[in-house]
A = this chain, B = another copy of it.
């Protein structure tokens, strides 16, 4: 198994990984919001309609967490990853409403070996998620640390 995993060398710029589809239910929107983001527009259809979002809508952090899970199921789960140092940018461009279906892609933008951690490389991705109407709902850019299959001789 280990040998089949994706390593740093497999993430060539331009390579694209499909994400989703994933349908979001009202129940999970409310469940997440109760724990992490209990604002009215994330807790009831009625309050969502009264907000600028237009209906019961997922917390941006919920959408982001679902997006993480979609990346896991697409390629991160099969990658020799050592995690991520953060998010360069994350835009929630349209509300994610209950029963929306999300899909999209991650595209490798750049790669570089990590000087501070020999044997690891940084892979930078651009990400986009769309709803079933083709509207862009999330765009993001981030980097993950990935083990090299054949570590370069690094000047540590």
Interface residues of chain A, those whose CB is within 8 Å of chain B, are: 32, 35-39, 41, 51-53, 59-62, 64-66, 68-69, 72, 76-77, 81-93, 117, 120, 145
| A82 x B52 contact (CB < 8 A) | yes
Interface centre among A37, A41, A66, A89 (most CB of B within 10 A): A37
| A84 x B89 contact (CB < 8 A) | no
Q: Which chain B residue lies CB-closest to A147?
A: B52
| B90 x A87 contact (CB < 8 A) | yes
User: With A and B bound together, what is the CA distance between A145 and B84 in angstroms?
Assistant: 28
Chain B residues whose C-beta falls within 8 Å of the C-beta of A87 in the assembled complex: 60, 87, 89-90
Interface centre among A64, A66, A82, A86 (most CB of B within 10 A): A86
User: With A and B bound together, what is the CA distance between A32 and B68 in angstroms?
Assistant: 12
Q: A62-B65, A87-B90 are in contact. List 12 more A-B contacts (CB 8 A).
A: A36-B69, A37-B68, A38-B72, A38-B77, A39-B81, A39-B83, A51-B83, A52-B145, A59-B68, A60-B86, A64-B64, A86-B93
A16 to chain B, nearest CB (A): 21
User: With A and B bound together, what is the CA distance between A50 and B155 in angstroms?
Assistant: 24
